[in-house]
Chain A
Amino acid sequence: MDGYTNKIAWVDLGKGKISIQETDAEMKRQYIGGRGFGAHIISSQMDPLTDPLDPENIITFMTGPTTGTGIPLGSRYEVCTKSPLNGTLMSANSGGVFGWKMKKAGFDGVVISGKAKKPTYLYLENGNVEIRNAADYWGKTTHETTDALMADLDDPKARVLCIGPAGENLDLLACVINDRDRAAGRGGSGAVMGSKNLKAIVATGDQQIKVADPDRMDGVKERIRTKIQENGICDALHLYGTSVLVNIIHENGILPTRNFQSCDFPNPDDVSGERMRDTILKKEKGCYACIVKCSRVCEVEGETHEGPEYEGVWGFGPDLGIDDLPLITQANWLCNKLGLDNIGTAGSIACAMEMREKGYISEGPTFGDGTGLLELINQIGHREGFGAELSDGSFRFAVKYGHPELSMSVKMQDLPAYDPRGLQGHGLAYATSVRGGDHVYGYLISPEVLGSPEKLDPYESTGKALWVKVFQDLTAAIDASGLCLFTSFALNADDYADIMSATTGTEINATELLRVGERIWNVQKLFNLAVGYTKDDDTLPDRFLTEPLQNGAPKGRVWERQPMLDEYYAERGWDNEGVPTPKKIRELGLGEPGIMHAHT
């Protein structure tokens, strides 16, 4: 009765073996759940040098203690694995309903290793796990798979997580999709599922999800509900979705266009959240227990689906020089159907467009031309035609043609929708993210652009190192808790500690919560160091360090790597090469025995 179901299913698909273990008490205390459980289990059970597409790679699907408890925005689960895209110990977070359903099925999470001999899906129901035949679903899109499983199972309470053709084809841009259109998007985890012949996971059941202190929880729920409802940012998210950012980021002069060559996209309003609301929006939608409802359900040419979000709008819009919102929306939906990371897919296409523009390749897409965009995405998902060149992301493509400098990626993962030349802190977060190019491991846009929790000068690098560390650690703790990151617009570390204490019955304060986040961050960092990443990799593409922006308020600026990076290492208690010191490792309780490692 502490928020957890206290059961984790360990599944070896190669041996067809299932073992249901009690969720370890010490692991709960040190890692909370979600991203923390995944990072801990993988780092402690697996050789970091394991090939990510080898059967030995482990993939975990973990909820947090707040998931499914009814606390507002407590819907999330995390996919963790060794990324086939870049070898990092990655996590990817997703909402929707699936996380709640995994708890209703009686599980805090699932740990999967091995490779099934034939297409398979996992069926979780009321504390039981079955490995089932997925032959009928292999080859289908995520929408088709979900609909077919739901029809075959005839259980309206069930929910489906699955991969599409991209995962089956081992695209390194492949993601995991749940509830038809919610994505655990980054890092290529869909290819890991594909490599294991694991098509889907179905969760259903009616297990009770109880918190430790229901009375206290009622008070906490009421208090945070009020804070979220009274927060202006959350209000705008409901009205305009995440794409409200298009105009904000553009007006700040940091909306990248044409593969980050500039930030002067001419028609931002045509692809904005405001335009979406006025044209294609059918209704707002929320995940389980959400009171913000930032997701968009849109209609284009008679088709209605969830999405797109800001990142996808930017990716298939401004970054490709395209201002056709219906087409951008269709491109995003197609990524979801194929099970492709839309940021990586768009970034790879943008890279190809610049390569074409510069004459480095003789075929491929061109900036501003949406003709053939959907067909190209289809090719990427199915690893066919020219699209096959882009199925593994922009970095490998750019290297193949001799121009790695045109891949706008960090640690081989394509960057999201903010130009770091006008955002010193956010650039540092990109450079140091332990899963590579990414915006949700430390969203410095919040203070540097939106003014939350306070306004920080985006052009100033002094003092940013500590901000980045704190944001990264708090985010890791939130990702462990099962709460949506958007709660952080309204809540502070004390609020999260209060929620966690009421949920688990173990008192934790803000300092201790941040320490959990720091522990998770260091676990991922140590894994990445063992993989072979070094200080040289904690940087951005040369473009951002050497080519000043030519327009807007940040005109003339570049991203200033130093001294921020060294300051950041110092704030983290790492040495000058970015390696956690023995003192820091001891302080975090890492590298020592003591936590029980359940294993099949």
Chain B
Amino acid sequence: MQEDENRAEKMKVTVKVFATLRRFMEKESQVTIESGTTAGELLLMLTKEHPGLNNELFDETGVLREYVNILKNGRNIHFLNKLETIIEENDLIAIFPPSGGG
């Protein structure tokens, strides 16, 4: 079959989840995404594959819950481009449900 020249390049990223999210997916997994994928699109993809995640990460209106933190290579995407942050090859994405201590 002829390769589609416009087809986006595939790449692998690592996704780590913590606390209650481990009820719904492996604590660490390799995920294949298309280049140009944003953090928001990655989360959407993950919630489709692991339906339980949705309620943990998003409220009833589909907005990311307060105190959910998504890190791209250790940097909170809130200080990058939020859910529009572009995920790059070999990135480590860490997803935390609301949690804290002291």
Contact = CB atoms under 8 A, between A and B. Distances in A.
Contacts of B67: 232-233, 450-452
A330 interface: no
B100 A244 contact: yes
A245 interface: yes
B22 A274 contact: yes
Contact of B19 (A253, A274, A310): A274
Interface string B11-39: 00000101110100001000000000000
B74 A239 contact: no
Contact of A248 (B22, B65, B96): B96
Contacts of B102: 242, 245, 310, 439-440, 443, 445, 485-486
B98 A236 contact: yes
B69 A245 contact: no
Contacts of B97: 232, 236
Interface string B82-102: 000000000000101111111
A319 B74 CA distance: 20
B99 A554 contact: no
Contacts, number: 102
B74 A553 contact: yes
A251 B16 contact: yes
B50 interface: no
Nearest to B72: A553
Given A240-B19, A248-B18, A235 B74 contact: no
A309 B22 CA distance: 21
Contacts of A459: 79
A298 interface: no
B10 interface: no
B78 interface: yes
Contacts of B18: 244, 247-248, 251, 274
Nearest to B75: A553
Contacts of B16: 251
A19 interface: no
B76 interface: yes
Nearest to A459: B79
Contacts of B76: 252, 451, 455
A232 B74 contact: no
Contacts of A232: 65-68, 97-99
Nearest to B76: A455
A368 interface: no
21 contacts: A232-B65, A232-B68, A232-B98, A233-B100, A236-B97, A237-B101, A242-B102, A248-B99, A248-B100, A252-B71, A309-B101, A310-B101, A443-B102, A450-B99, A451-B66, A451-B76, A452-B66, A455-B76, A457-B79, A485-B102, A553-B74
Q: Which 6 A-B pairs have the closest CB atoms?
A: A232-B98, A553-B74, A242-B101, A236-B99, A450-B100, A233-B100
Given A243-B101, A450-B67, 12 more contacts: A237-B100, A240-B99, A241-B101, A247-B18, A247-B19, A251-B74, A252-B74, A274-B18, A274-B22, A294-B101, A445-B102, A449-B69
Interface of B: 16, 18-20, 22, 27, 65-69, 71, 73-76, 78-79, 94, 96-102
